Structure 1
Amino acid sequence: MSHSNWQFSSLIATFLLLVLGAVGCAKQASPEGGPYDMTPPRVVRCTPEMGSTNVSARRVRITFDEYIQLERGEDKVIYSPPQRIPPKALVNQKQLVITYQDSLIANTTYTINFNRAIKDYNEGNYIEQYVYAFSTGDYLDTMQVTGQVLDAYTLEPVPRILAGVYETPLPADTLDRPMTRMTYTNDAGHFTLENVRDGNYYAIALIDMDRSYSYNAPNESFAITADSFRTQVVPRSALTPAEELQTDSLTTPVDTLAAQADTLSSKDTPSQKGGGETHTSSTDSTVSDSISPYVYLPNDLLLLLTRPKTHIIRLERLARRDSMSLVATFTEPIDTLPQLTILSPDYLTTPTSYYPDLSMDGKSLVYWLTPHASLAQDSLVVAFAYPTTDSIGSPINQLDTMTLRAPKLHTPAKKSSLKVPTDTLVQPSDTTAHRGATIELAPVQITSHEGIHKETTRDSIWITYDVPILAIDTTRLHLAKLIDSVPHPLSYQLLPDSIRTTRWLVDFPKEPGSTYRLTVDTAALTGLYPQKSAPVEKECKIAAANELGSLAITLTDYPTESPLYVHLLSSKEEILATAQPDSAGLVSFTELAPGSYFLKLFVDCNGNGVWDGGTYPAMQPEPVRYLPHSVSVQGRFATEQKWEYDGTPLAKQRPKDLEGAEKDEHTTTPIRDKKRDLNVEYAQRMRERYGKRWNPTDRERKIMGLPSREEERLARERGDFTEIGAKPTEDTTEDTETNHDRQGEIR
């Protein structure tokens, strides 16, 4: 081989090696930056120290173990007692400096509640709850108050709202001063107030719309204890097992990064005034109670939040849509019909000059005008009295006088064969009608019930027309029962709807397992306007008795002083039917389609037939109860269910499988999802990429919350170790999954 050929071959080989090397590098996965820091910042030093007494300095300096940031401090940080001039909070790398602008009050315990306001600078890990406390006097107040806030109507926990206490007595009309001590509820609606001075209090929860830390407007949601209570500390041994269980279940999760041990021990004698106690827990009583023989009371307060009806009803428009009708549109459904008075022209000022027709959703109302030759040319002057609400949702009545102009004249389009719609109904003398328009039969509909009574003996059959129905020719309406497909005529009764003038009810007794046919002939209906109704026919099938079931509920230990209503609910909390118990406490629902149902009741204390929330300060919300589980109804069977009124604690009554998808003004904020742990995914990626070669260092293991290498070695020797980051297979046994949770799952 010549020298030139050898050089050329070397170049080719070198080029191929470079290409293969580049391809090989391209196939390698990009390196990762190691495990993720999922740990929130830790407090390493406070000046003055946590729990200090006789403090005179107005500046607090808190140092953390990493760089921090303060998110929305003005919204999340709570200063107790409330400050006339809000303190200034500044972050300087790892330090948080709080400077009080007001003078400090003598002999007072001060707390700063950081409610998810502090997080690390890079990863955004929050400190869930951190409370810093100091005192300007000789002792630190150490009492605690624990409770839970539930929505009064749905019994759902109310998360992330203000909860606090007021010293007695309460103001008569509104809470015109801020709370004495306050905090926020957690995702489960629980709250714990720390560093409370021993005394008598009312507890209150509040959706504080104006950040006044007080209830001062009727559009604010609130809950308040019916009676005052006194703080106290009692030996744990004095509690019954049930009370001790409540203590464990009604405490908020502790921030273990900031929690400090309770200085109470079996040798300590707690002072009722807090003077001899230096309790410095920064978050919650869970840790302290678990090691202390003493329990802070009350620890089981239950506050029921009343949400005001915030539907703002407004009249969107009252317009003359054509010469024959007016339409009023509202922003929300209306409960009462408005009053329309026609002031001009004179021929429409009689009581029968119009016919109202409310839509099914209750948001729009059509006024059909009595026919007259001059309607197309004359404007209308009307006085319209309608229900509305003020800026905070309180109902008021509004009266407007307005002029509705005559509709514009429509002229036929030149050289066009298209039919131009000109009016709701064609009148021979109406100049707005397009000449030459074809008169067609007006459609008629036959509708039935769409709720729980559909295809039962309580089903309804309605005849619906496009305009108000004045009369129905019974010789042109035929009802028959089909027996072996042969119609047998039946008698019936026609009843006009009191609100919807465009439909009439065909009332007749129905038998289970039967099929009925209703036939409406041409021109059977006489409407407000001279037009012919179209023919229509429909069959209605009633389910057989063996296709339906029934439900009988026996209530026990329920209050009998006021009426009580029981709701049958769907899984979306839609009210399907309502009944009242008899003198023996029996509530019955019959002709039910097979399926699962839920039960809810309320006590109508004021006897108005609807549920009412609380009124500050004296009236609590009307009691609401749920059967804690669903009830299954089967065809052909009568299901019996016993229901003890208070057989289950109120906080545990709402069924977990009740969706509550249909929300109204009583509903609550959804509970926040748990934060995703990125280290679980990181460990799985490393395991898939490197297999058994992946062996993180002890430092990385500590970050991820994994056992050290030595602990792993010992676990392997015992035979109970699961590979780090390994995904469980379909045939993984329960024991293997347990080991995986203990060894391989990142927390």
Structure 2
Amino acid sequence: MKRILITVGASVLVLLMFPRCAKVVSPTGGPKDTIPPVLVNSNPKPNATGFSGQKIVLEFDEFIQLKELHQKLLVSPPLKSKPQPKQKGKKLELELTDTLKPNTTYTFYFSDAVRDNNEGNPIKNFIFSFSTGQTIDTLTLSGRVLNAITNEPVENALVMLYDSFTDTLPYITLPNHITKTDKDGKFTLVNLKPIKYKLVVVDDKNGNYLYNQGSESIGFISNEVNPSDKTPKSISIRLFREELPNQIVTGYDRPERNILSLSFSRKPVGGFSLKPIDRLKLTNWYVVEPDNNGDTLKLWIVNDEIANRDTLMAILEYQKTDSLYRLKPQTDTLRFLYYKEEVQQSKRKGKKDETAQVKKGFTVSTSLPSDRMVIPNVPFEFTLPMPIRKADNTKISIFNTTDSIADEQIKLKVDSLNPRIFRFEKDWKPNTSYKLTILPGAFEDYTGQTNDTLMLEMIGADPEKYGILRINLTGVSKSVVVELLSEKGIPVDARTIQGNGIVEFSFVKPGKYRLRFIDDSNSNGKWDSGCYMKRIQPERVIYFTDEKTKGVINIRANWDSELQFSLKQE
């Protein structure tokens, strides 16, 4: 007993001598909470019938928080005024300011806006429904919305159902049912009636539940859709931006003394003409250069007398869309002004106008890549700073420095759209050095200026340093545009094929690529958007993919790659 007392006393003495060695440890709280709130009570009850109140109360099993409820809450059919939310601990109250329709099933789509207060665990795809009538609708409709060009899923697109089939409904009438797509572009409409519906999708940018043409994209199902009480077959909708149907002049300007600009709502159908108001018979006083879309036009003034006018009054004749969407001849009077303060001040002071001095030459830029490799029969481009009046092939020469011989004369061709671009093609020999010389006078603009001398050195590409890609295409209905893309989706090259056959890309630099196919139904060599009112879907865009490479094609030097691909629709 004495020994025990001595031992206990020694232990107490040690603790008193080293008080800082004691450490208080908080009890562990267990595993992290990952369970979202659970609805335990509500007024009305879920899927209740005969509801006539103006307030909805939802009670959960734990305290909640709301994240972006105003943006995420969607009520179907849509209400004119959004419900006013009020959070009280574990309860969420929704005050309804609109009068509910009789005999109607209402569905509240909360998305992931309701979360627990501690960890923020959301109730995913939380939906609450009730009916103002004696029955509740129970059918569903599911699908997915993809971007028509990229095939990527579209998030937050508004999916709208109508119980009638007038084409103008999306422009003027609120839908009968709505929902939004998730991050994967998927959607599910619930509590639908056993009737046929019209389905339209828009990226509702202003939140008015209508289609605003020109500022929003649209997608639609051409035929009627039928909801189901079973697991429905998912439908696919392609979202696209329509070309504006109205053809009008949207702007005009004179950014430089010798340049006018005209902007249309779309590429002008039927062409146009612009004439000085005092010289209506004057022709060929400007050269047109459209942008890539064709709706903005740059007009290069090539008449000195017109260019020297500070004020130019001109008559524009073009086709304008009337109220019935018909193109009718239209005549507008436009006033183009050019004025620079510093020029006028220098003239008043008797100083020489330096801006009026004529340059002796201009620079020609080319498409020669940084590695100076030129590929056989790939167009070699010259880009000029302004349109030209005359091109002289004899002042452009190519000398084969490897064999010490002069090559045959090139043949220049002007671009069909851009008057500042000229091209020529040549069968460059592999591993052969060339010198290209452009002498003054090869290009002469409308002011009499000619190009500066330009000398370039280049080498014919060695085919063994490049790869070849061949695609055996089947399932082609009319024609297909085959685009070779970089791994990041940037266009590298393109080919067009009519019907089934083999498409070949040669002299492909080693690297990783992708393939995109445009089902060119009208055989115009480019992708065309759709038209909702004419019930025309956008042309299909298909990306090559496979499970092994995820669509990435590895091109190696001195290697032929071949693949099979079918465009046949499933």
Instruction: Show the counterpart of 1:171.
Output: 166
Select 2:224's aligned residue among 224, 228, 232: 228
- 1:641-700: CA deviation from partner (whole Å, max 9, x where unpaired): 1013358x8xxxxxxxxxxxxxxxxxxxxxxxxxxxxxxxxxxxxxxxxxxxxxxxxxxx
Shift of 1:156: 0.8
Instruction: Show the counterpart of 2:472.
Output: 554
Q: Give the structure, 1 or 2, with the largest relative contact order (CA under 8 Å, sep 6 or more).
A: 1
> In the alignment, is the contact (CA less than 8 A) between 1:54 and 1:137 conserved in 2?
yes
Query: How many pairs does the alignment contain?
Result: 534
Looking at structure 1, the residues matched to 167 and 291 of structure 2 have their Cα atoms a distance apart, in angstroms, of 43
Looking at structure 2, the residues matched to 636 and 388 of structure 1 have their Cα atoms a distance apart, in angstroms, of 56
Looking at structure 1, the residues matched to 182 and 353 of structure 2 have their Cα atoms a distance apart, in angstroms, of 60
Looking at structure 2, the residues matched to 464 and 370 of structure 1 have their Cα atoms a distance apart, in angstroms, of 22
Matches within 5 A, 1:25-104: 40-83=36-79, 86-104=82-100
Looking at structure 2, the residues matched to 389 and 124 of structure 1 have their Cα atoms a distance apart, in angstroms, of 54
Looking at structure 2, the residues matched to 333 and 224 of structure 1 have their Cα atoms a distance apart, in angstroms, of 23
Aligned with 1:302: secondary structure?
strand
Question: In the alignment, residue 353 of structure 1 is paired with which amino acid?
Answer: W
Question: In the alignment, residue 401 of structure 2 is paired with which amino acid?
Answer: L
Select 1:111's aligned residue among 97, 107, 110: 107
RMSD: 4.6
1:381 and 2:313 matched = yes
Instruction: Show the counterpart of 1:563.
Output: 479
> In the alignment, is the contact (CA less than 8 A) between 2:377 and 2:425 conserved in 1?
no
Shift of 1:500: 4.3
Looking at structure 2, the residues matched to 189 and 475 of structure 1 have their Cα atoms a distance apart, in angstroms, of 59
TM value normalised by structure 2: 0.77
Shift of 1:58: 3.9
Instruction: Show the counterpart of 1:447.
Output: 366
- 1:126-163: CA deviation from partner (whole Å, max 9, x where unpaired): 43321112234454333222222112222111112222
> In the alignment, is the contact (CA less than 8 A) between 1:79 and 1:113 conserved in 2?
yes
- 1:519-555: CA deviation from partner (whole Å, max 9, x where unpaired): 1234554432344643221123221222233222122
When residues 96 and 311 of structure 1 are mapped into structure 2, their CA distance, relative to the original with a 3 A threshold, is: farther
Runs of at least 5 residues in structure 1 that lack an aligned partner in the other structure: 1-20, 25-31, 234-295, 428-438, 650-747
Select 1:302's aligned residue among 223, 226, 236: 236
Question: In the alignment, residue 621 of structure 1 is paired with which amino acid?
Answer: P
Aligned with 1:546: secondary structure?
helix
Question: In the alignment, residue 545 of structure 1 is paired with which amino acid?
Answer: P
Looking at structure 2, the residues matched to 85 and 483 of structure 1 have their Cα atoms a distance apart, in angstroms, of 79
Instruction: Show the counterpart of 2:434.
Output: 516
Question: In the alignment, residue 483 of structure 2 is paired with which amino acid?
Answer: H
Select 1:191's aligned residue among 187, 190, 195: 187
When residues 602 and 70 of structure 1 are mapped into structure 2, their CA distance, relative to the original with a 3 A threshold, is: same
Looking at structure 2, the residues matched to 377 and 137 of structure 1 have their Cα atoms a distance apart, in angstroms, of 75
Instruction: Show the counterpart of 2:561.
Output: 639
Looking at structure 2, the residues matched to 533 and 138 of structure 1 have their Cα atoms a distance apart, in angstroms, of 84
Shift of 1:563: 3.0
Question: In the alignment, residue 306 of structure 1 is paired with which amino acid?
Answer: F
Select 2:357's aligned residue among 422, 426, 446: 426
Question: In the alignment, residue 516 of structure 1 is paired with which amino acid?
Answer: Y
Question: In the alignment, residue 166 of structure 2 is paired with which amino acid?
Answer: P
Matches within 5 A, 1:566-581: 566-581=482-497
1:622 and 2:539 matched = yes
Instruction: Show the counterpart of 1:205.
Output: 201
Matches within 5 A, 1:149-548: 149-167=145-163, 169-175=164-170, 176-215=172-211, 217=213, 219-233=215-229, 296-309=230-243, 318-319=253-254, 321-322=256-257, 325-328=258-261, 339-344=273-278, 350-356=282-288, 365=298, 367-371=300-304, 376=308, 379-384=311-316, 399-404=332-337, 408-409=343-344, 411=346, 422-423=354-355, 426=357, 441-448=360-367, 455-473=374-392, 476-484=395-403, 486-531=404-449, 533-548=451-466
When residues 94 and 228 of structure 1 are mapped into structure 2, their CA distance, relative to the original with a 3 A threshold, is: same
Aligned with 1:580: secondary structure?
strand
> In the alignment, is the contact (CA less than 8 A) between 1:108 and 1:137 conserved in 2?
yes
Instruction: Show the counterpart of 1:7.
Output: none
Looking at structure 1, the residues matched to 537 and 390 of structure 2 have their Cα atoms a distance apart, in angstroms, of 50
Looking at structure 2, the residues matched to 503 and 196 of structure 1 have their Cα atoms a distance apart, in angstroms, of 58
Question: In the alignment, residue 596 of structure 1 is paired with which amino acid?
Answer: K
> In the alignment, is the contact (CA less than 8 A) between 1:452 and 1:576 conserved in 2?
no
- 1:358-408: CA deviation from partner (whole Å, max 9, x where unpaired): 678986735243345x96577433335689999xxx999884421535764
Looking at structure 2, the residues matched to 137 and 378 of structure 1 have their Cα atoms a distance apart, in angstroms, of 73
Shift of 1:321: 3.0
> In the alignment, is the contact (CA less than 8 A) between 1:315 and 1:388 conserved in 2?
no
Looking at structure 1, the residues matched to 372 and 486 of structure 2 have their Cα atoms a distance apart, in angstroms, of 14
Matches within 5 A, 1:681-720: none
Instruction: Show the counterpart of 1:435.
Output: none
Looking at structure 1, the residues matched to 320 and 372 of structure 2 have their Cα atoms a distance apart, in angstroms, of 33
Looking at structure 2, the residues matched to 57 and 517 of structure 1 have their Cα atoms a distance apart, in angstroms, of 86
Question: In the alignment, residue 434 of structure 2 is paired with which amino acid?
Answer: Y
| Structure having the larger proportion of residues in helix | 1
Matches within 5 A, 1:653-672: none
Shift of 1:210: 4.5
- 1:103-145: CA deviation from partner (whole Å, max 9, x where unpaired): 5555443322212333456765543321112234454333222
> In the alignment, is the contact (CA less than 8 A) between 1:173 and 1:616 conserved in 2?
no
Instruction: Show the counterpart of 1:666.
Output: none
Looking at structure 1, the residues matched to 53 and 265 of structure 2 have their Cα atoms a distance apart, in angstroms, of 55
Question: In the alignment, residue 201 of structure 2 is paired with which amino acid?
Answer: A
Sequence identity, in percent? 25
- 1:693-723: CA deviation from partner (whole Å, max 9, x where unpaired): xxxxxxxxxxxxxxxxxxxxxxxxxxxxxxx
Instruction: Show the counterpart of 1:601.
Output: 517
When residues 177 and 478 of structure 1 are mapped into structure 2, their CA distance, relative to the original with a 3 A threshold, is: closer
Looking at structure 2, the residues matched to 519 and 62 of structure 1 have their Cα atoms a distance apart, in angstroms, of 81
Runs of at least 5 residues in structure 2 that lack an aligned partner in the other structure: 1-19, 22-27, 546-550
Looking at structure 2, the residues matched to 102 and 360 of structure 1 have their Cα atoms a distance apart, in angstroms, of 48
Looking at structure 2, the residues matched to 475 and 606 of structure 1 have their Cα atoms a distance apart, in angstroms, of 41
Shift of 1:36: 7.7
> In the alignment, is the contact (CA less than 8 A) between 1:319 and 1:327 conserved in 2?
yes
Looking at structure 2, the residues matched to 382 and 567 of structure 1 have their Cα atoms a distance apart, in angstroms, of 43
- 1:235-288: CA deviation from partner (whole Å, max 9, x where unpaired): xxxxxxxxxxxxxxxxxxxxxxxxxxxxxxxxxxxxxxxxxxxxxxxxxxxxxx
> In the alignment, is the contact (CA less than 8 A) between 1:342 and 1:382 conserved in 2?
yes
TM value normalised by structure 1: 0.60
Looking at structure 2, the residues matched to 532 and 504 of structure 1 have their Cα atoms a distance apart, in angstroms, of 15
Question: In the alignment, residue 515 of structure 2 is paired with which amino acid?
Answer: L
| Structure having the larger proportion of residues in strand | 2
When residues 529 and 207 of structure 1 are mapped into structure 2, their CA distance, relative to the original with a 3 A threshold, is: closer
Question: In the alignment, residue 173 of structure 1 is paired with which amino acid?
Answer: T
